[in-house]
Amino acid sequence: MKVGVVNETYPGELRVALVPDIVGQLAKKGFDVVIEAGAGVSAGYADAAYEAKGATVVPSRKEVFDAADIIAQVRSAGANPDGCQADFDLMREGQIIVGAAEPLSRPDLVAKMAEKKVSAFGLELIPRTTRAQAMDILSSMATVSGYRAVLWAADKLPKFFPMFMTAAGTVAPAKVFIMGAGVAGLQAIATAKRLGAVVSAYDIRPAVKEEIMSLGAKFVEMDLESGAGEGGYAKEMDEEFYRKQRELMTTVIADSDVVITTAAVPGKKAPILVTEEMVKGMAPGSVIIDLAAERGGNCELTKAGETVEVHGVTIAGPENVPATLAFHASQMYAKNIYNFLCNMLSKDRERKNEFDLEQEDDILAGTWMTKGGEVVHDVVKEALGNAAGGQA
């Protein structure tokens, strides 16, 4: 099987789907890799490094699509809504497309892939199971985002993060509050602690209290119903829940130097957790980093892709955070792709290097969006139906 990698065409996307080391590992599993010239350069990986690991570098995108049985992308379909249009013309029947596809936000573009009769897999749909962790792009990219958010906050805050005892007196440590303790939130907690801040955190899932405390942060208790959903995700709550949550959160936020918000529900608009009134209560010079900016933001004053100052508070709404650390983000993403492709190989020991998409496998079933000209994923079909109903 030939795996193809092309340049990412989404504006500002610097990552690449495979890195040279993974090319070498795929070769041992029986895969050949063909890569478009320059595909890894923006992430720090030269063409020569791919060739040294056995990849074939070709000059054009079309040559990759023509040669490859599998196209591995960072962003396909809905994750690259403008750039994907050109790729539809290059796809051929039976080809396998693997990557992030934003299928719940843009199911119409998944339907267009179905029209091309490709087998498209959306890696955001990976089940939250122990076996699937090594393929979970949401978790690996959230690790990058949580780390980066704290560094941005430290840069923008006009204070030290750690406590200092100096001849000029003692400097109190910064107070950092993390809202949401998924992978991004936990990484943010760990990073802020390493920088010496006093860290507290809150999540609507009470079960994560132990994880928060194990990283040295204080868990903020609130008298609210559990928001734990299926598969380890937080579920979408009603407006009354968020109203009460905001009331209880006001004092905590007012006492914080930095607030990092990470709350997002897949395929939905992010809930508003920080209101303008809450921002008014923060001290001048405080910082909010809103990691949910791409989905509307957890702060009602967030402007996606911008950093603004409102009521003396700096509010950053970064987009595509993993691309800002493209070298290691690509490395992690490529490992997820490698594990996913290896999972497609037959579990039969005598056919260990043969592809078997028809095997019973919860990961394949959970991510397979299009097959034989049809959208086959139930959740994506539901999103497609809802989108069609909204247009009617």
Residues acting as catalytic residues: 128, 133, 136, 139, 233
Please provide residue 235's backbone torsions phi and psi, each rounded to the nearest 5 degrees.
Answer: -95, 160
Burial profile 363-372: b = 16 or more Cβ within 10 angstroms, e = fewer: bbebbbbbbe
Q: Which residue has the tokens 């906050």?
A: 153
Length of the chain, please?
A: 392
Query: For residue 4, what is the enclosing H or E element?
Result: strand 2-5
Cα–Cα nearest to 62, from 36, 32, 100:
36
3-class secondary-structure state, position 201 = strand
Strand order in the sheet with 307-310: 218-219, 198-202, 175-179, 258-261, 287-290, 313-316, 307-310
Cite the DSSP H helix spans in the chain. 20-28, 47-52, 61-67, 84-90, 107-115, 137-156, 183-194, 209-214, 239-254, 276-280, 326-343, 362-367, 378-391
CA pair distance 362, 125, nearest whole angstrom = 11
Give the whole-angstrom CA distance, residue 51 versus residue 31.
14
Among residues 179, 232, 186, the alpha carbon closest in space to that of 202 is found at: 179
Residue 165 pairs in a beta bridge with: 170
Distance CA 206, CA 290 (A): 22
Q: How far apart are CA 190 and CA 194, in angstroms?
A: 6
d(CA 135, CA 164): 41
Q: Which pair of structure tokens corresponds to residue 149?
A: 């958010």
CB atoms within 10 A of CB 358: 8
Task: Give the phi and the psi of residue 215 in degrees, each rounded to 5.
Answer: -90, 0
Angstrom CA distances, 302 to 61, 315, 346, stand at 37, 6, 47
